[in-house]
A and B are shown apart, each in its own frame.
Chain A
Amino acid sequence: MHEVSISHAIADVVLKESEKQEAKKILLVELEIGELSLLNPEQVEFWLKLAFEKTPASEAELKIETIKPEVHCSACGYEGTLEVKDDPLSHFLIPIFQCPKCGSGEIAVKRGRECRVKKIEILT
């Protein structure tokens, strides 16, 4: 959904850092996108490549890792992944939003919602 604006924000973070480091070229950009976010990694890649045109990152390799949801259950202390429903109608696995150990709904998402610029590799 917000792939355009978020891609511009990513480009901003990357290009500002490379300017600070006086980089000639950005060789690699590594991103993490959570599976619970409503961002489509393929669209982020498309828009980011456009945002990088005519910048030192124009030839950068993009690596996008998708992050599986991890939760903490405040009822039983469980930490880990959610069970998923593999519905042939969907293009993705739909997590079942309850503690897989005790069935409680009191779970907090620890990972899986991020859109993170993990690291960049630059040539100085």
Chain B
Amino acid sequence: MKIIRPDKGEVFDIELDEDLLRRNQKLAEENKKLLDSHKILAIDIMGSVGSGKTSLVVQLVKYLKSKYRIAALAGDTATTIDAERIKSAGAEVMEINTGKECHLDANLIKKALGELNLDKINLLFIENVGNIICPADFPLGSHKRIVVLSLTEGPYVVLKHPFSFIDADVIAINKVDLSQATGIAPAEFEKQLHELKPSLKTAHTNCATGEGIAKVAKALGL
């Protein structure tokens, strides 16, 4: 092939068209294909620090373990505390420690999938690092997303972080037992969420007791 190159001293335009976020998106698409080929449904869980993500996964595992063969990936900067909690509920678990990174990415999931026996499971939960900003730019290859939104995060979290909810399918409005203490009505969150994305399904939960878990499972089609 003939290549035209600039002479010395010439100004030259180079069309690069290189999308840096697309690299992660492509890996996410590969992960999804791998999961599909093993007929595994993957659900990722996003939410603020302390919103109740692990408690939600623990309750979902308890509720669904007789119906599905479940594995979970627990993402955290450090420790295996979350993984131990989910394991004791009855799922195969792998911890992903990100070190200082504030989100999981498709490459970490690809590595984890390589370690799991994918023929043994048909449902995978992927719990992201506690953070509702950074993970939003890094799809992982899951089929559905649930965001855990708890009443203790204050009344403005939906208004302040609209982009964190647009890729979600289901929102678990958690810690509904603290409605009186926080002065926040779960219905107010629902109204704000539906203004943003009318197709969002919501469920009121108390993940400490398991209240509302059946509704979450139903909303996820499980």
Contact = CB atoms under 8 A, between A and B. Distances in A.
Interface stretch (B106-114, B159-167, B173-181, B205-213): B159-167
B18 A103 contact: no
A124 B187 CA distance: 62
Contacts, number: 109
Given A2-B137, A87-B159, A13 B166 contact: no
A14 B82 CA distance: 40
A100 to B, nearest CB: 12
Interface of B is mostly: mixed
Interface string B123-156: 0000000000110110000000000000000000
A8 B208 CA distance: 42
Interface residues of A, number: 40
Interface residues of B, number: 34
Contacts of A101: none
Contact of A115 (B20, B166, B198): B20
Contact of A90 (B6, B17, B159): B159
Interface string A88-101: 01100011111000
Contacts of A87: 159
A122 to B, nearest CB: 5
Interface stretch (B8-16, B31-39, B64-72, B89-97): B8-16
A87 to B, nearest CB: 7
B199 interface: yes
Closest 9 CB pairs of A and B: A105-B199, A97-B197, A116-B19, A124-B6, A97-B166, A1-B134, A115-B21, A117-B16, A94-B162
